């Protein structure tokens, strides 16, 4: 994708061999899963512990969502 050659606000994604967005698209991941991956990938080059906390926050959201679905006896593979 041509748009992946440009990044607004730094190079913290472009430095990866496979950018997080490419991984997310190719694996058909949902929004919450994508956010977790994005923040984990960039924490060393952008916001450090703050990004790890953001990833943890989205992971907590995903866990609570899935636990709620289990209690309803329904499971969605895409979040």
pLDDT of residue 55: 98
Assess if residue 79 is contained within a domain: no
What is the extent of the structural domain holding 46?
A: 12-71
Distances (CA, A) of 13 to 4, 6, 44, 76: 9, 10, 11, 29
d(CA 63, CA 25): 22
Angle at 49 between CA 43 and CA 53, to 5 degrees: 95
pLDDT bucket at 13, cuts 50 / 70 / 90: confident
Residue 44 has pLDDT above 90, yes or no: yes
pTM beyond cutoff 0.85: no
pLDDT of residue 79: 56
pLDDT of residue 41: 94
Assess if residue 76 is contained within a domain: no
Residue 35 has pLDDT above 70, yes or no: yes
Element (H, E) at 5: none
Q: How many domains does the chain have?
A: 1
């Amino acid at each position: 994708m041509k748009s992946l050659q440009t990044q607004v606000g730094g190079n913290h994604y472009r430095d990866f061999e496979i950018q997080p967005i490419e991984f997310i698209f190719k694996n058909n991941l949902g929004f919450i899963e994508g956010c977790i991956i994005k923040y984990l990938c960039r924490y060393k080059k952008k916001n450090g512990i703050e990004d790890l906390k953001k990833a943890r926050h989205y992971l907590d959201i995903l866990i609570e969502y899935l636990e709620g679905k289990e209690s309803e006896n329904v499971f969605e593979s895409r979040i």
